[in-house]
């Protein structure tokens, strides 16, 4: 029996499938059926800050190939291990990590995973890559946003060796097992944001491009942290997502959204409205602190109109309303400076 056959049998056994013969599957259609069963997408709830439904990683399995989309921050690494173990998977069994973008809540755990499994291929957009190789600037700007809480929120962020990186520009087609995944450049939330379209399953892994919507709710809202949100460019990303007609969106915060066109139109409307609100507040507020306060209370009131109190608090925490204000304010000021 060849090494690859014995490896595959071990994998099948781990998944509870009984394999009866090492002969090629073409002679045994039912064995092909077992390999179809192994094509799966699983939502891994990272339980960020002890909260269910805040940060989701996606586990893509196909023909023994295993990929994690956005593994989450360093602070939830142990939970990620447990989630994988529950499926009989160790970090050493992973083949690839797909990063939608490099913000710590999505990508922070990547370096630690590569340290445990040096054969991991890490896919990331060209603009984000330098900050994955050397996260010092990323950490310095995160430190300014969360001066006292960085470690508690995001844990340790280790560098990723350059040889593990697979640099993306958008437009690539990846083959992960038998799964076909198209990479699409979707800036807006971040200048280096990409989305991954699983053509086999019709699922679009959109990171934060389509905002925050906790699975099971219809309410969708923006997360617009500094430093480089861009509403104009964001519109082209909405078009790029809709053009591909995904059956479902997979959001990092959190899980599936079943009606992509309705989702994006609701999201876009609220995103632009919150930008207009920010512009109005910047015109009238007495100070930066007063501006942040009035943005946070206005948006919190809006969320609370749509959701029960505990769910409203969960949305606000997961998206970071204060950061959304800072990001929108920075974007508007930058645009005003550029226009003058
Ligand atoms: Zn995020």
pLDDT band at 146 (very low <50, low <70, confident <90, very high): very high
Tally of structural domains, the chain: 1
Q: Give distance in angstroms: CA of 238 to centre of ligand 1.
A: 17
Sheet holding 40-45: strands in order across? Answer: 40-45, 56-62, 65-69, 96-98, 121-125, 165-168
pLDDT in tens, 194-205: 999 999 899 999
Residues with CB under 5 A from ligand 1 (ion): 105, 208
Pairing of strands 96-98, 65-69: parallel
Q: Is residue 264 included in any domain, yes or no?
A: no
* In 104-187, beta strands by DSSP E: 121-125, 165-168, 173-176, 179-185
Concatenated DSSP letters of 284-307? H-SSHHHHHHHHHHHHHHHHHHHS
Q: Give distance in angstroms: CA of 27 to centre of ligand 1.
A: 46
- Least confident span in 23-37, 38-52, 193-207, 234-248: 23-37
Cα–Cα separations (whole angstroms), residue 281 to 208, 286, 321, 338: 25, 9, 14, 20
Pairing of strands 65-69, 173-176: unpaired
Q: Give distance in angstroms: CA of 211 to centre of ligand 1.
A: 8
Q: Give distance in angstroms: CA of 188 to centre of ligand 1.
A: 13
Q: Give distance in angstroms: CA of 264 to centre of ligand 1.
A: 17
Q: Give distance in angstroms: CA of 34 to centre of ligand 1.
A: 35
Q: Give distance in angstroms: CA of 164 to centre of ligand 1.
A: 23
Q: Give distance in angstroms: CA of 11 to centre of ligand 1.
A: 32
Mean pLDDT of 11-40: 44
pLDDT in tens, 240-286: 999 999 999 999 999 999 999 999 999 999 999 999 999 999 999 99
Q: Is the pLDDT of residue 312 over 50?
A: yes
Amino acid 120: pLDDT: 98
Q: Is residue 211 included in any domain, yes or no?
A: yes
Q: Is the pLDDT of residue 78 over 80?
A: yes
- Least confident span in 13-17, 63-67, 148-152, 214-218: 13-17
pLDDT above 70 as % of the chain: 89
Closest CA to 205 of 213, 197, 193: 197
Q: Is residue 338 included in any domain, yes or no?
A: no
Q: Is the pLDDT of residue 308 over 80?
A: yes
Q: Give distance in angstroms: CA of 162 to centre of ligand 1.
A: 24
Amino acid 203: pLDDT: 98
Q: Where in the sequence is the domain holding 235, given as residue range(s)?
A: 37-259
Q: Is residue 123 included in any domain, yes or no?
A: yes
CATH at residue 99: 3.60.15.10
Q: Is the pLDDT of residue 179 over 50?
A: yes
Q: Give distance in angstroms: CA of 301 to centre of ligand 1.
A: 22
Amino acid 52: pLDDT: 97
Amino acid 340: pLDDT: 84
- On whether the CB atoms of residues 281 and 291 are closer than 8 A, the answer is yes
Mean pLDDT over all residues of the chain?
A: 91
Q: Is residue 135 included in any domain, yes or no?
A: yes
Q: Give distance in angstroms: CA of 209 to centre of ligand 1.
A: 9
Q: Is residue 105 included in any domain, yes or no?
A: yes
Pairing of strands 65-69, 56-62: antiparallel
Q: Is residue 329 included in any domain, yes or no?
A: no
Q: Give distance in angstroms: CA of 106 to centre of ligand 1.
A: 6
Q: Is the pLDDT of residue 35 over 60?
A: no
pLDDT in tens, 106-124: 999 999 999 999 999 999 9
- Coil/strand/helix, residue 336: helix
pLDDT band at 38 (very low <50, low <70, confident <90, very high): low
Q: Is residue 320 included in any domain, yes or no?
A: no
């Amino acid at each position: 029996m060849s090494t690859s056959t014995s490896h595959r049998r071990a994998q099948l056994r781990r998944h509870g499938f009984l394999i009866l013969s090492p002969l090629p599957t073409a002679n045994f259609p039912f064995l092909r059926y077992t390999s179809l069963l192994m094509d799966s997408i699983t939502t891994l709830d990272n339980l960020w800050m002890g909260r269910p439904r805040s940060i989701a990683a996606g586990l893509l399995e196909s023909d023994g190939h295993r990929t994690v989309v956005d593994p989450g921050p360093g602070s939830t690494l142990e939970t990620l291990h447990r989630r994988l173990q529950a499926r009989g998977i160790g970090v050493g069994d992973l083949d690839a990590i797909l990063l939608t973008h490099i913000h710590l809540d999505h990508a922070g755990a990547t370096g630690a995973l590569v340290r445990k499994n040096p054969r991991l291929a890490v896919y990331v957009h060209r603009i984000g890559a330098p900050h994955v190789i050397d996260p010092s600037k990323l950490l310095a700007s995160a430190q300014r946003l969360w001066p006292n809480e960085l470690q508690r929120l995001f844990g340790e962020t280790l560098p990723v060796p350059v040889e593990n990186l697979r640099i993306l520009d958008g437009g690539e087609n990846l083959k992960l097992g038998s799964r076909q995944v198209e990479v699409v450049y979707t800036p807006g939330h971040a200048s280096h944001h990409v989305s991954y379209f699983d053509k086999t399953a019709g699922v679009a892994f959109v990171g934060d491009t389509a905002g925050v919507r906790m699975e099971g709710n219809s309410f969708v809202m923006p997360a617009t942290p500094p430093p480089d949100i861009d509403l104009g460019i964001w519109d082209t990303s909405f078009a790029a997502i809709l053009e591909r007609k995904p059956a479902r969106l997979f959001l990092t915060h959190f899980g599936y959204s079943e009606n992509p066109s309705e989702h994006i139109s609701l999201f876009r409307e609220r995103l632009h409205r919150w930008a207009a609100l920010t512009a109005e507040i910047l015109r009238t507020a007495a100070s930066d602190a007063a501006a942040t306060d009035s943005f946070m209370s206005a948006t919190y009131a809006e969320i609370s109109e749509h959701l029960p109190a505990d769910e409203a608090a969960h949305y606000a925490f997961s998206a970071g309303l204060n950061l959304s204000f800072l990001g929108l304010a920075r974007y508007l000021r930058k645009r005003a400076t550029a226009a003058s």
